[in-house]
Structure 1
Amino acid sequence: MKDYLCEDTIAAISTPIGKGAIGIVRISGKEALPILKKIFRMKSGKKKETFEDRKMHYGIAVDTKGETIDEILAVYMKAPKTFTGEDVVEIHSHGGIYVVRKILRTVLSLGARLAEPGEFTKRAFIHGRIDLVQAEAINEIINANSELSLKVAVNHLKGTLSKKIKEIMDNLFNLKALIEAAVDFPEEDIEIIESAKVKEEIEKSIKEIENLLKTYDEGKIVREGIKIAIVGKPNVGKSSLLNALLRDERAIVTDIPGTTRDIIEESITLKGIPVRLIDTAGIRDAKDKVEQIGIARSIEKLKEADIVLFLIDGAQGFTEEDRKIYSLVKDNPNTIVVINKADMPLKVSCKEFKKECITISAKTGEGIDKLTEKIMNKLLLEPETLFKESETMITSERHKKLLEKALKSLKKVLESLEKGFQSPEFLSIDLDDAIDVIGEITGKRTVEDMLDIIFSTFCIGK
């Protein structure tokens, strides 16, 4: 992806590969319309020389030998008012994989090249149709795995985060102008720099950045979800609990200890939050080599989990095997003790544990909703108020790191002012650093290599 001048014409299939009602081949670039004229025929077989902007045209697609490929609908969209900012053509055919690929091969043989992952969106960014935050939001929308994560991504696409970043940038640029004036025109005796005023504006920017950074932990959860590991000795009901939370029979449930010999992972949504449920192999002193491997993996998964559900068979009581496993999880602040089999007489109660505890029945579903509430409370999540469309939330690790770097630079400026070091040259250096890294968030100062990394995560055709 090194052609940053975008002089060539690109094409790709923009619908999922496989059988479907419709398949779309998208073309972008200066040769998009000439290629359409070569491949398109009216139903009578005649060529069509004129295509009205943004009007769907019905006809047939032909290959380079003039043989019919399929009946199609084609639309030509004239630059610059297109997604990429270039001439764009879309060819809509029936959705069979063979027909769509044949149309694409014909388009490529007529002068286009196959687009790389994310290249259409990258061109939209290069031509100023969207900034980098909005470009990343498109990928987030495609990969959204919950209603909440979709809402956050759409909010980013609308430009809410970009607007907040721009406000911070504008404030810093205004300060930069004052400082540069003091550097460039010292004979004018421009006063920097009312020190109190500069300090006030720096503190304002610091506060805004800190407020954005505070949203990251929840933003990451919205985007990536949480990992919940279910752990316990064999046959305490881990797979039954997994099925109860999933409200589906995904895991095999038997009375035979050691049935789950490896990690089982399933995705669900709890109150709008994407969750990765991990049903671990029962932890015990196993002699079976396969089961030993499963147990070792279970212990590793405990380190990765955001929440650990330590499950006990309440009908058996708190056994020595339970105590050994409890020693592995008791120091984890996000461990919840779950006493199972509330539908039977219990030999253990929550009073015996200093940890968060709940009694449930994985068999009947008793207590499952309360367990969900405890999980949310443990992570300090309130899904109903977690995200409001009027608010700005950061979900990207890239944004977080850049904001942290900018914050560090601005705190250096503030420190210099507080110590009485008001030399415009020194203040300007740290202020420049902050402006540069904040500019990278929206792409105002993004290097080409960074563009390659970001857009390579997109699907081809987007």
Structure 2
Amino acid sequence: MSENIANKIFKTLSPNAKLLDRNVAHGQIIKDDRTIDECLCLFFKSPNSYTGEDVIEFQTHGGDGVPNLVIRYLIEEGARIANPGEFTYRAFMNGKIDLLKAEAISSLINSQAESAEHHSFDRLSTNIAKKLNNIRELAILVIAQLEARIDFPEEDIPKIEKQKLLDEFDTVINKTNDILETYKSGSLYLKGLRIMIMGEPNVGKSTFLNNIISDERSIVSEIPGTTRDIVNSDIYIKGIRCNFFDTAGLRDADNLIEKKGIDKALEKIPSSDLILLLLEKTSNFQYIQKIVENVPRGKIIYLINKCDLIVKDETWEIEKKLLEEKIKYIKISSKNG
């Protein structure tokens, strides 16, 4: 918004007062000789603003009516609503911030969990940019040493130490890999953890989800195949967003709709971060293992459900199978906790 537009609707309460760079003015929003609000006006003269351009900021009273009325009057005088991310885009184009900082600001604005906000702020504080710049400077130094000896062989340049050069290359590679390793964990902080709850029909998946989120989100029934579409719900654990997906029971279904639900569940396996595989006394171990045979074992947590039904000194067949395959598991009760 230009200074001219602001002057059309804002009048300072102090006679002959003007808008000064990085100063606060107390005044009124006036339209057609009618006072709309008494507010504060801040003026940031280029380049001393977030975008590097002239910026004017009005601090009006809250609610819906007054701010919307002020916006409407500004638009009538020639201003417009900024596009999503436009201020950050302008700041980037005007050289006020780099691309990494622009992305960090976007992540911070869109973060949905405390951990995501912390991660975005770390990026915003230029920690990543500093590390990348250090790597860049080291790489340039290494390349310069090589090019100097290639381009000026006749000059009296000390002979390069091969091992020292290789060590410097290794340092560049290792530091780059260290940053790349943070991508996956950073993605989990920003986007959340996608957790699939899988298992055969009536194994207790829906009850498990309902108990986790403390809500009757999934329908619980003794009728096999009750859950046919994917039901999801978000909760926050220690500031991290966890998105749980209750899926259709895994079996060779004849019903077309149920079969589509199972296919949708299987399609989501590659994009999930963690699979909670629920088993119980009658689970078909061979069938389940065939479904998840291509899934990394570290991505699956095996849960033997309905352990409240196990009688003393009894070992279910499914537990014996897991022990034979040396698969770690946890005994739980979706019903009783």
Pair in the same fold by TM > 0.5: yes
Aligned pair in 2 of structure 1 residues 123, 292: CA closer, same or farther (>3 Å)? same
Which of 292, 301, 305 is matched with 1:336 structurally?
301
Q: CA deviation at 1:154?
A: 0.8
Paired amino acid for 1:318? T
CA distance in 1, matches of 2:208, 2:172: 48
Task: Determine if the alignment matches structure 1 residue 350 to structure 2 residue 322.
Answer: no
Paired amino acid for 1:350? E
Residue ranges of structure 2 left out of the alignment (5+ in a row): none
Task: Determine if the alignment matches structure 1 residue 279 to structure 2 residue 243.
Answer: no
Q: CA deviation at 1:159?
A: 1.0
How big is each residue's C-alpha offset from its partner over 1:421-440, in whole Å with a ceiling of 9 and x where there is no partner? xxxxxxxxxxxxxxxxxxxx
CA distance in 1, matches of 2:195, 2:112: 16
Residues 199, 277 of structure 2: 8 Å contact kept: yes
Which of 318, 321, 324 is matched with 2:282 structurally?
318
Aligned pair in 2 of structure 1 residues 48, 359: CA closer, same or farther (>3 Å)? farther
Q: CA deviation at 1:361?
A: 0.9
DSSP 3-state at the match of 1:343: helix
Residues 141, 153 of structure 1: 8 Å contact kept: yes
Alignment of 1:277-316 (within 5 A): 277-313=244-280
DSSP 3-state at the match of 1:310: strand
How big is each residue's C-alpha offset from its partner over 1:184-220, in whole Å with a ceiling of 9 and x where there is no partner? 6665444575555544433322221122223333233
Aligned pair in 2 of structure 1 residues 184, 227: CA closer, same or farther (>3 Å)? same
DSSP 3-state at the match of 1:302: coil
Aligned pair in 2 of structure 1 residues 330, 173: CA closer, same or farther (>3 Å)? closer
Residue aligning to 2:123: 156
Task: Determine if the alignment matches structure 1 residue 35 to structure 2 residue 5.
Answer: yes
Residue aligning to 1:226: 193
Residue aligning to 1:89: 56
Paired amino acid for 2:18? T
Residues 84, 124 of structure 1: 8 Å contact kept: yes
Task: Determine if the alignment matches structure 1 residue 268 to structure 2 residue 235.
Answer: yes
Residue aligning to 1:212: 179
Paired amino acid for 2:190? R
Residues 308, 329 of structure 1: 8 Å contact kept: no
CA distance in 2, matches of 1:257, 1:58: 68
Aligned pair in 2 of structure 1 residues 290, 66: CA closer, same or farther (>3 Å)? farther
Residue aligning to 2:206: 239
Question: How many residues of Structure 1 are paired with residues of Structure 2 in the alignment?
Answer: 328
DSSP 3-state at the match of 1:281: coil
Higher relative CO (Cα under 8 Å, sequence separation at least 6) belongs to 1
Residue ranges of structure 1 left out of the alignment (5+ in a row): 1-26, 366-462
Aligned pair in 2 of structure 1 residues 48, 117: CA closer, same or farther (>3 Å)? farther
Aligned pair in 2 of structure 1 residues 58, 292: CA closer, same or farther (>3 Å)? farther
CA distance in 1, matches of 2:335, 2:196: 19
DSSP 3-state at the match of 1:364: coil
Q: CA deviation at 1:336?
A: 2.3
Give TM-score scaled by structure 2 length: 0.83
Residues 200, 283 of structure 2: 8 Å contact kept: no
How big is each residue's C-alpha offset from its partner over 1:20-46, in whole Å with a ceiling of 9 and x where there is no partner? xxxxxxx4xxx2x22211121357xx9
Q: CA deviation at 1:323?
A: 4.7
CA distance in 1, matches of 2:307, 2:162: 67
More deviation, 178-187/68-77: 178-187
Which of 47, 50, 53 is matched with 2:18 structurally?
50
Residue aligning to 1:443: none
CA distance in 1, matches of 2:75, 2:157: 61
CA distance in 1, matches of 2:38, 2:225: 57
Aligned pair in 2 of structure 1 residues 169, 259: CA closer, same or farther (>3 Å)? same
How many percent of aligned residue pairs carry the same amino acid? 39
Residue aligning to 1:120: 87
Residues 80, 87 of structure 1: 8 Å contact kept: yes
How big is each residue's C-alpha offset from its partner over 1:378-426, in whole Å with a ceiling of 9 and x where there is no partner? xxxxxxxxxxxxxxxxxxxxxxxxxxxxxxxxxxxxxxxxxxxxxxxxx
Give TM-score scaled by structure 1 length: 0.62
Paired amino acid for 1:123? R
Q: CA deviation at 1:357?
A: 1.3
Q: CA deviation at 1:139?
A: 1.1
